């Protein structure tokens, strides 16, 4: 292989290598041990610290394009909330999040949960709440003004949890934001937490796509976000902790193995590209 060819590999061969590298662990898992990060641990510990009967807002603000990262995060936390006896008010400020939220609730609370006895008492699903950040602000000020019915058209006045207990942000004990864009965690901070007493009054935990986590770290260190599930890795860490504590199935292992090989391959591409560049430069050629 000549110097010139190192820096001129057809991109389609790179695509094939990536495809193979990511596929192998999915078909034959490597079972790599998963280190639990501080950010996911804080989400777990804050949720554990809540007492039975505390109200958790689960906001499904993502679409099918980021489902591989956000869905396992949201479903795991929903399971955790149910196990602890927390009261869950689930909703979505993204229209595409509404069917995904419904699916997660059915998987955790049962296929027919909206007709169960606990619906309206310990769990309510509002579905899509329109208005984006304006809707968030309105929901924080008065939950019944933001949307008068649940996802299936039942008036909130017929649901004891919404009628008597969850009236505004003053009643929220935790806001779990599963976000992949706008409106997302920043809008919850601006239009809900900031208006109703700050982080101590409305603590927020976030499950986000990895691409947006680096941008929200300043909110984390300022305390406005208490904990973060960082993409697929964060989902895997949370599932792992739930698996140890509650026997929750740990399903993200193969995905994290695939992610590991993908990362190693990207690093290899960077090294290869720079070797070609440095060799070309040292020979006096144009890069």
Partner 1 sequence: MLYDLFALFFGVFVTVFIYSFLWKENPLSRAVEHLFVGWAAVYTLATMYDAALSQAIWGAERIEGGNYIWIIPILISFMYFFFFSKKYFYLYRYPVSIVVGIMAGMMICGMIQSNILAQIQSTARDLPLVGAGVWDYVGGSTFIQGVNSLIFVVASITALTFFFFTWEHKGVLGISTKIGRYVLMATFGAAYGSTVMARISLFIGRLRFLYETTYTDEAGWLVNAWYIIPIAVICVIIMALWMRSRPEEKPAEPAPKPEKPKSKG
Partner 2 sequence: MSLVVKRYIPLAITFVMGIIMVIATYFLEIGSPARDATTLLTGTVDVIVATAGVIGLIVLLRHHGVNVSRRGKYWKYSTITIIGVITYLIVAVYGVAIQGRYLMVASEPVSWVYNQLYAHMDATIFSLLAFFIASAAYRAFRLRSLEASVLLLVGALMLLGRAPIGGVMWEGFPNIATWLLNVPNSAGMRAITIGIAIGAILLAIRQLMGVERGYLGPER
The reply on whether position 41 binds partner 1 by CB under 8 A is: yes
142 interacts with, out of partner 2, partner 1, none, CB within 5 to 8 A per kind: partner 2
The reply on whether position 74 binds partner 2 by CB under 8 A is: no
Query: Which one of 84, 201, 210, 272 is in contact with partner 1 (CB under 8 A)?
Result: 210
Three-state DSSP class for residue 254: helix
| Closest approach of partner 2 to the CB of residue 52, in Å | 29
The answer to whether the beta carbons of residues 113 and 106 sit under 8 Å apart is yes
Query: Which one of 5, 112, 115, 153 is in contact with partner 2 (CB under 8 A)?
Result: 153
Structure tokens at 54: 């505390």
The reply on whether position 28 binds partner 2 by CB under 8 A is: no
Nearest Cα neighbor of 177 from 206, 141, 147, 214 is: 206
Owner of token pair 């980021």? 66
The answer to whether the beta carbons of residues 256 and 34 sit under 8 Å apart is yes
| Residues ≥6 apart with Cβ < 8 Å to 107 | 75
The reply on whether position 59 binds partner 1 by CB under 8 A is: no
Residue 201 burial (CB count, 10 A): 14
Cα–Cα distance for residue pair 189/154, rounded to 1 Å: 29
Kindly indicate which of the ranges 104-112, 146-154, 160-168, 275-283 contains the residues binding partner 1, using the contact rule CB under 8 A: 146-154
**Count of chain residues binding partner 2 (CB under 8 A):** 68
Q: 179 has which bridge partners?
A: 61, 208
| Closest approach of partner 1 to the CB of residue 173, in Å | 19
Kindly indicate which of the ranges 48-56, 66-74, 75-83, 115-123 contains the residues binding partner 2, using the contact rule CB under 8 A: 66-74
Nearest Cα neighbor of 90 from 67, 46, 117, 120 is: 120
- Per CB under 8 A, residues contacting partner 2 are 9, 11, 14-15, 18, 32-35, 37-39, 63-68, 95-96, 98-100, 127-128, 130-131, 134, 137-138, 141-142, 145, 151, 153, 195, 210, 213-218, 220-222, 230-231, 233, 256-257, 259-267, 269-270, 272-274, 277-278, 287
């Amino acid at each position: 292989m000549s110097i010139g060819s190192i820096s001129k590999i057809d991109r389609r061969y790179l695509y094939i290598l990536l495809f193979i590298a990511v596929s192998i662990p999915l078909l034959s898992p490597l079972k790599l041990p998963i280190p639990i990060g501080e950010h996911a641990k804080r989400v777990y510990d804050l949720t554990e610290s809540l007492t039975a009967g505390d109200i958790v807002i689960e906001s499904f603000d993502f679409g099918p394009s980021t489902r591989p990262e956000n869905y396992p995060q949201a479903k795991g936390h929903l399971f955790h909330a149910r196990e602890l006896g927390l009261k869950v008010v689930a909703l979505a400020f993204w229209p595409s999040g509404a069917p995904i939220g419904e699916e997660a609730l059915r998987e955790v609370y049962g296929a027919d949960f909206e007709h169960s006895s606990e619906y309206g008492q310990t769990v309510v699903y509002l579905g899509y709440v329109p208005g984006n950040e304006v809707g968030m602000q309105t929901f924080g000020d008065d939950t019944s003004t933001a949307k008068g019915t649940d996802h299936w058209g039942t008036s909130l006045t017929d649901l004891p949890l919404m009628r008597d207990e969850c009236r505004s942000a003053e009643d929220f004990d935790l806001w779990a934001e599963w976000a992949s864009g706008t409106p997302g965690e920043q809008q919850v901070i601006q239009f809900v937490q900031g208006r109703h007493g700050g982080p101590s009054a409305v603590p927020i935990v976030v499950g986000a796509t990895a691409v947006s986590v680096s941008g929200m770290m300043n909110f984390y260190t300022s305390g406005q976000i208490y904990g973060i599930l960082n993409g697929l890795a964060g989902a895997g860490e949370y599932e792992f902790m739930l698996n140890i504590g509650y026997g929750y199935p740990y399903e993200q292992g193969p995905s994290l193995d695939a992610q590991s090989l993908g990362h190693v391959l990207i690093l290899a591409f960077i090294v290869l590209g720079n070797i070609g560049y440095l060799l070309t430069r040292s020979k006096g050629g144009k890069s």
